[in-house]
Amino acid sequence: MPPLRLDSERLLLRPPQEADSPAIVSLIAEWDIVKNLSRAPYPYREEDAREAFARHQEGRARGTDFTFTLVRKSDGALIGKCGLHLQQSGFEMGYWLGRPYWKQGYATEAAARVLAFGFGELKADRIRAGWFHDNPASGRVLKKLGFVPDGADQHDCLARGHSVYCNLMTLSREDFARRCAA
Ligand SMILES: CC(C)(COP(=O)(O)OP(=O)(O)OC[C@H]1O[C@@H](n2cnc3c(N)ncnc32)[C@H](O)[C@@H]1OP(=O)(O)O)[C@@H](O)C(=O)NCCC(=O)NCCS
């Protein structure tokens, strides 16, 4: 499969590269980020970034992982990741940004582009996402994108070492299309 690159107004979304690992670690390796993710360990080391890269690459070849590295167009800064992962119930979206890039609308912008890719190229009917009860910023991002509540469960969090109450959200193709048209 050729490398997939997507564009949004301020961001380039490109496939992860192993050479990103040091920059990824310099951004992700803090408690306030990994405590909100399912599969990121704490502490987070460069070997963890390389393992994540290998998982993304293998998953992309199988059509089960479409993770993008987010690069800011204005200065080429790597700012985080956003992607879709195929689970039993369909695609789930995940994202994180380095702290210097929070609260500037980048997560919402990147996720909107990834959702357009998921509904358009991957033909998903529905995309799901979840946010831990103590991470309202992520809940707000999903709400802004049109996601609606779809239950809750206890979800494993590797960094915390235990499961965490997780709000589940879902977005249908129709609701996404309506939102884009509005
Ligand atoms: C969650 C995260 C991705 C948000 O990224 P971001 O680029 O700051 O998001 P945006 O700027 O697009 O939108 C954030 C929204 O949350 C709001 N927000 C921020 N902190 C908040 C808080 N503590 N409580 C409620 N809302 C909050 C912002 O005001 C903004 O809403 P607004 O546009 O209506 O003002 C980022 O904080 C992050 O990477 N956190 C750590 C990893 C993580 O949580 N990943 C998601 C796992 S589900």
Residue 65: give its domain's CATH number: 3.40.630.30
CA of 96 to the centre of ligand 1 (A): 9
pLDDT band, residue 2 (cuts 50/70/90)? low
- CB atoms < 10 A from the CB of 25, how many? 17
The pTM (predicted TM-score) of the whole model is 0.97
Whether residue 48 contacts residue 149, with contact meaning beta carbons closer than 8 Å, is answered with no
* Domain total of the chain: 1
What is the residue range of 41's domain? 6-181
Does any domain span residue 133? yes
Does any domain span residue 75? yes
Ligand 1, atom 37, lies closest to the CA of 102
Enumerate residues 6+ apart whose C-beta is below 8 A from 142: 111, 129, 131, 169, 171
Tokens of 147: 């996601």
Ligand 1, atom 20, lies closest to the CA of 137
Question: Per-residue pLDDT tens for 106-131?
Answer: 999 999 999 999 999 999 999 999 99
